[in-house]
Amino acid sequence: MSLYLIILIISLAGPLALSFEKNLRLYKRWKYLLPAILITMVVFVVWDIIFTHKGYWFFNPIYNSGIYINKLPLEEYLFFIVIPYACAFSFYAVQFHFPKFKLSKQWTKVFTFLIVLASVIMSSLYQDPTYTFIAFLVLPVILLLSYYFAREVVQYYIAIYPVLLIPFFIINGILTGTGIEQAVFDYNPEAILGIRVFSIPIEDMIYNFSLLLLPLTLTHVFEMKSRKTENG
């Protein structure tokens, strides 16, 4: 079994088992969450394939199964299911147990504006490192759409995101080479700024913000649409 797959299994095991916990009962949200994750997966897999073909990042064959689809290892496809699900579990668990752990409407508006402004500035300043440019360009689009269609999600998400960064640093750290001889996947230095936290490029934090927010937003949209239909 590949190291990449082992990391994914460990990442999923706890959240999946606890999805049936009698109070949280995340499994009841699956009919909204799973389609949301699959839609997000399509968006980010397309991004992944394009960047892989262009040589902006690459995968170490030592650490994956060797089964490739369009130059992406099988584990990479699973990544876009496992990680959003695990982080969605963490998000809903924090929201359930700490319902007041969110920003006010006013501070949500302020932080949304500041994040969007900072992202637009960064994308305009760094158009040459391609990953940097795209990551900072995609984030404000997803954040503004989320703010418009799922403002309550954004209120919680901005507050909870620092908590979500804890497993991110552990999992993404290993995948990018922390504690192992070679990275599971790595980046063309010409496509990134070269600023890393441990072994993690700073762009990955921006990418991660968008990857985790989009399925939460879509889940909220699907859930609200279902409730409206049920209520006539």
pLDDT, tens digit, for every residue of 180-193? 989 999 999 999 99
Distance of CA 174 to the CA centre of its chain: 16
Count the domains in the chain.
Answer: 1
pLDDT, tens digit, for every residue of 67-91? 999 999 999 999 999 999 999 999 9
pLDDT, tens digit, for every residue of 18-48? 999 999 999 999 999 999 999 999 999 999 9
Distance of CA 143 to the CA centre of its chain: 13
Q: Is residue 68 part of a domain?
A: no
Q: Is residue 198 part of a domain?
A: yes
Distance between CA atoms of 91 and 190, rounded to whole angstroms?
A: 34
Distance of CA 82 to the CA centre of its chain: 10
Q: Is residue 119 part of a domain?
A: yes
pLDDT at 129: 84
Domain extent, residue 197, equals 77-227
Q: Is residue 12 part of a domain?
A: no
Q: Is residue 113 part of a domain?
A: yes
The pTM for the full model equals: 0.95
pLDDT at 37: 98
Start-to-end C-alpha separation, the chain: 50
Kindly list the distances between the CA atom of residue 2 and the CA atoms of 9, 49, 112, in Å, as whole numbers in the listed order: 11, 21, 39
Q: What is the mean pLDDT of residues 55-66?
A: 94
- pLDDT band of residue 232 (cuts 50, 70, 90) is low
Residue of 60, 51, 55 lying closest to 184 (CA atoms): 60
pLDDT at 186: 94
Q: Is residue 209 part of a domain?
A: yes
pLDDT at 128: 85
Q: What are phi and psi of 128, to 5 degrees?
A: -80, -55
pLDDT, tens digit, for every residue of 130-178? 999 999 999 999 999 999 999 999 999 999 999 999 999 999 999 999 9
DSSP state of 101: -
Q: Which two tokens stand for residue 8?
A: 């994914």
Burial 34-67 (b: 16+ CB within 10 A, else e): eebbeebbeebbebbeebbeeebbebbeebbeee
Q: Which two tokens stand for residue 179?
A: 């504690």
The crossing angle, in degrees rounded to 10, of helices 74-97 and 151-175 is: 130
pLDDT, tens digit, for every residue of 202-221? 999 999 999 999 999 999 99
- pLDDT band of residue 231 (cuts 50, 70, 90) is confident
Kindly list the distances between the CA atom of residue 41 and the CA atoms of 69, 82, 198, 212, in Å, as whole numbers in the listed order: 14, 10, 27, 11
pLDDT, tens digit, for every residue of 93-139? 999 999 999 999 999 999 999 999 999 999 999 988 899 999 999 99
Q: Is residue 21 part of a domain?
A: no
